Amino acid sequence: MRNLFYFILTFISLILLTSCGVTGEEKKETEASLEKQVQKSIESLKSDEVLTKYLTNVKYEKDVDSDDTNLHYNILGTLNDSFEELKEAEQFAFISHSIDKIHEVNKENNGDLSCGRLFLCDIWYVEFSTSKEKYRMFYEDPNINNMNGEERTLVVGDRFEFNSKGILVIDRKDNSINSSTTKANSSTKDGNDWLEMGDSQKYSTVTTILTSLKSNGYTVLENADWFVDALNAFYGVDATNGTKITEAIILAGLAGKVITKP
C-alpha cells in the first residue's frame, strides 16, 4: 500500500518537477562551485613530484554529455614521450596515483565533487596523452570498486585495457565491452533509452546511478527494485520520456521520501 501511494505521488510530482527543472541561477552557481573544486584538484597534480616527472600540462573540460542537472568533468594532461618507455604496470601506477591525489583533495566529500540539490556531478575520467598515445583511467571511488569486487583499469588508445599488474584484460578488436564506459554513460540516458531496456539492464542502470548518488552524499532508503517500478510507471508518455534517468530517480526519491539530499 505504501509503495502504491508513493508511485502515484511520484508520478504526479515528477511531471510537475520535470516542467520546472533547475533555475538558471542555480545552474550558474553550481557550475562555478564545481569549476573551483576541479581547478583545486588540478593544482594538486601540478605540484606532485611523482607526476611532474612526466606530466607537462594539465587542465579540465566539461564533458560533452553534461546537461542542466548532470555535470561531468574530465581531467586532461600532456605527457612527455618518455612515458611510453614505462611498462604497462608502471603507467597504470602513475595515472592511478593522479586519481588518488584528486581523491585526497576532495576527501571531505569522500573523494567526489560536491554539488547542490537536483544535480549529479562527478569527474568521469583522467586522460593523459603523449604525442602518439592516450592513456585513460575512469575516476571511480575505490571503496565502491572494492565492494563490487572490481578494480581500476588503464585504457590505452582505443583498444587495449590493462589491470594494475600490467596484464591485458580487454582487447576491443575482439568486441569486448568496457564496463567503466557503460557505467559512466548511464547518467546520460533518458526515458526513450529506458523503454528499450530489458529488466536486467534497467536494474543495472539504476544500481549504478544509486551508487553514484550515495557517493555524492545522498541517503537512499529503498533498493533498486523500488526505483525500477517507479520509473516504469513514470516513463511512456512524451511529457516525461525526455527526462534523464538520473534526474527521474532523484525526483522519484524526493517525491516518495526515500531519498534525502546531502
State pLDDT tens for residues 65-90. 788 888 889 999 999 999 999 999 99
The 3-class SS string of the chain reads CHHHHHHHHHHHHHHHHHHHCCCHHHHHHHHHHHHHHHHHHHHHHHCCCCHHHCEEEEEEEECCCCCCCEEEEEEEEEECHHHHHCCHHHHHHHHHHHHHHHHHHCHHHCCCCCCCCCCEEEEEEEEEECCCCEEEEECCCHHHHHHCCCCCCEEECCCEEECCCCCEEEEHHHCCCCHHHHHHHHHHCEHHHHHHCCHHHHHHHHHHHHHHHHHCCCEECCCHHHHHHHHHHHCCCHHHHCCEHHHHHHHHHHHCCCEECC
Confidence (pLDDT) at 257: 83
State pLDDT tens for residues 163-212. 888 888 765 555 443 444 444 456 678 899 999 988 878 888 888 888 87
Q: Which residues of the chain are modeled with pLDDT < 70?
A: 1-22, 117, 141-150, 170-187, 262
pTM above 0.85, yes or no: no
Q: How far apart are CA 75 and CA 102, in angstroms?
A: 10
